[in-house]
Structure 1
Amino acid sequence: MNFLLETLQVLVLSVYFNLEAFLKLFIPSRKKSVVGELVLITGAGSGIGRLVALEFAPLGVSLVLWDISQEGNKETARLAKEKGARKVHTYVCDCSDKADVYRVADQVKREVGDVSILINNAGIVTGKKFMDAPDSLIEKTLEVNTMAHFWTYKAFLPAMMANNHGHLVSIASSAGLIGVSGLADYCASKFGAIGFAESVALEMLTAGKDGIKTTIVCPYFINTGMFDGCQTKWPRLLPILDPAYVAKKIVNAILTDQVYLLLPRAMYVLMAFKNCLQWNQAALLGLYLGVFDKLEECKAHQSPKKLC
């Protein structure tokens, strides 16, 4: 009897969820209020981190900005205050260092309070093929892009669980969904970040903590400087994304509790192809779209500013 009831429940809810998703294509989702929330952004001193902070600034939140660059962080704080941010707190933190993450997290909790929206944005890229990448840079990529998420979750998730309220945001990459030639360590780190975020989201669900939301962001290449020189064979299908546009989409996804945000929209179709095509066909499609050869034109580089 339980089997029949549970099966019926799954079928009914599946129809409901699919209908809900279809209606959202035509009816915009209602945005939640974030007034009074404490938003922490790693890698806030430049790029997407700074732009996301500026998008949140007029929404009545208090901002906690982490970056390894004190000057960049202070500039973001200044701009956020001009945009109307209630309170802005800046901290220098090296997200590749677990001890530093825990130290600064404890300082935030003492001086500011419990973080309710955590945005793991800090990231680096070596820009070297696997056999050419020094071990130290490979380790640094994984420490910043993946392991730092473990430590920030450990630091701030307990308070969210106690209150059954919060939002966990992972700024990952389309390279965390589809392997890319020449970005082995970067892809591995982003695959890891996505898998980690999904797993913790499921832990929260099974623990009954439905008030803790998750958003996983997977954009194509963004024109922020991390991938200088990147071009696209099909700019209408896979454009190099404008940072301001991406920041707006990220904040909108958070405000509407969107779990996955893939940019551009063509990424949803490409992911469907990846999951149903044979390996040779998928590789052929990647060559056709120019993902591999165009990447060779990139002048990807590691920047200390990307260490948070």
Structure 2
Amino acid sequence: SFLILQTFDFLELIVGVGFYLFEAFVRLLVQPAWKDVEGEIVLVTGAAQGLGKLIAEELGHLGATLVLWDVNREALEKTAKELRSTLDVRVYAYACDCSRRTEVYRTAELVKREVGDVSILVNNAGVVTGKYTFTEAPDNLVDRTLRVNIAAHFWTYKAFLPDMISRNHGHLVCIACHGGLFAMNGLADYCASKFAAIGFAESIALELRVLQKEGIKTTIVCPYLINTTMFQGCQTKWPSFLPVMDKKAAAKRIVDAILREKMYLLLPSSLYLLMALKRYTFSQVVYMQSPSKQNCLCIEVFKSK
């Protein structure tokens, strides 16, 4: 009977894999329609500038209420004022250091009282320090990287996910990086934080599926280099195959993935090929995609992507 049970489980696995492969193939051919986000409350961390600001702007054009978080109060207020003048939606701004658990919880309670329940959470805030090897990197900068790039996701999910679960409605967006898929020289702490962010987002997606909360979606974004201040000065070895992306184009692709409820988005599309090759030619693929650094990645404070 044990052998029969094992055989049944194996056949169930094969059928399940076949079904999901077929489903994935169909999704490639038939793009799902955009969902309506008008009136949804969207919270974007690291929204004062760069990619976070552009993602918020794109969603604002579609009628979403915007809640902007950033550690840089001055830049945040400037962005909020600009978006209020160009968008016909409500825009709220809250200075918040997402790496500090108590500050996240306190600010989240303010948002719930003053704005309402967040239904789309975009974890975009990030920090990178790239002028040191791992053994030379100051401990405080390594700690900062881990607290901002991964621990902050724990606290924002803890703050907003329970309400999404109770309503079975929401969307969790993790803006990771290709550094969460491939190792990069000189960025051990950064890559570790991004690998962790992807694993965390995937695990939460699985939890929600087991809980049968199909109304809560998860999108994981892994871009290569984007022309924002975070990677200012970085160059790509293969500009035709792995180009440095324009931040406006990247924001549009990310918002499209959110609206189509895609679970994964790799930018540019050539990263999908590299992921397929990674298993068989690890060192060569990792070396090939690693960006060149020329006086870049010297950031020791929060930078919105």
- Range of TM-score over shorter length: over 0.9
Structure 2 CA distance for aligned equivalents of residues 109 and 4 of structure 1 = 51
1:130 is paired with a residue whose SS is coil
- 8 Å contact kept, 2:49–2:75: yes
1:150 to 141, 154, 159: 154
CA drift of 1:111 comes to 1.2
Equivalent residue runs for 1:51-70 within 5 Å: 51-70=54-73
Structure 2 CA distance for aligned equivalents of residues 6 and 37 of structure 1 = 41
In the alignment, structure 1 residue 78 sits paired with structure 2 residue 73: no
Structure 2 CA distance for aligned equivalents of residues 19 and 82 of structure 1 = 46
CA drift of 1:6 comes to 6.4
Structure 2 CA distance for aligned equivalents of residues 20 and 49 of structure 1 = 31
2:267 to 263, 282, 287: 263
In the alignment, structure 1 residue 119 sits paired with structure 2 residue 122: yes
In the alignment, structure 1 residue 306 sits paired with structure 2 residue 268: no
Structure 2 CA distance for aligned equivalents of residues 226 and 269 of structure 1 = 25
Alignment partner, residue 219 of structure 1: 223
1:56 is paired with a residue whose SS is helix
**Identity over aligned residues, as a percent?**
51
Amino acid at match of 1:91: Y
Equivalent residue runs for 1:159-308 within 5 Å: 159-275=163-279, 277=280, 281-287=281-287, 289=288, 291=290, 294-302=291-299, 304-306=301-303
Mark the CA change 1:154 to 1:31 in structure 2 (over 3 Å): closer, same or farther.
same
Structure 1 CA distance for aligned equivalents of residues 86 and 240 of structure 2 = 32
Mark the CA change 1:306 to 1:85 in structure 2 (over 3 Å): closer, same or farther.
farther
2:28 to 25, 32, 38: 25
Name stretches of at least 5 consecutive residues in structure 2 with no aligned partner.
none
Structure 1 CA distance for aligned equivalents of residues 191 and 273 of structure 2 = 19
- 8 Å contact kept, 1:114–1:159: yes
In the alignment, structure 1 residue 137 sits paired with structure 2 residue 141: yes
CA drift of 1:44 comes to 0.3
Query: What does the per-residue CA deviation read over 1:102-149, in whole Å, with 9 as the maximum and x for residues that have no partner?
Result: 111111111111111000000000112212210000000000000000
Higher mean C-alpha displacement, 7-16 vs 43-52: 7-16
Structure 2 CA distance for aligned equivalents of residues 229 and 57 of structure 1 = 30
CA drift of 1:13 comes to 4.6
Structure 2 CA distance for aligned equivalents of residues 254 and 101 of structure 1 = 24
Query: What does the per-residue CA deviation read over 1:34-90, in whole Å, with 9 as the maximum and x for residues that have no partner?
Result: 111100000000111000011011111111000111222122223323442411110
Structure 2 CA distance for aligned equivalents of residues 161 and 6 of structure 1 = 30
Q: Could you state the TM-score of these two structures normalised by the residue count of structure 1?
A: 0.91
- 8 Å contact kept, 1:222–1:240: yes
CA drift of 1:242 comes to 1.0
Q: Could you state the TM-score of these two structures normalised by the residue count of structure 2?
A: 0.92
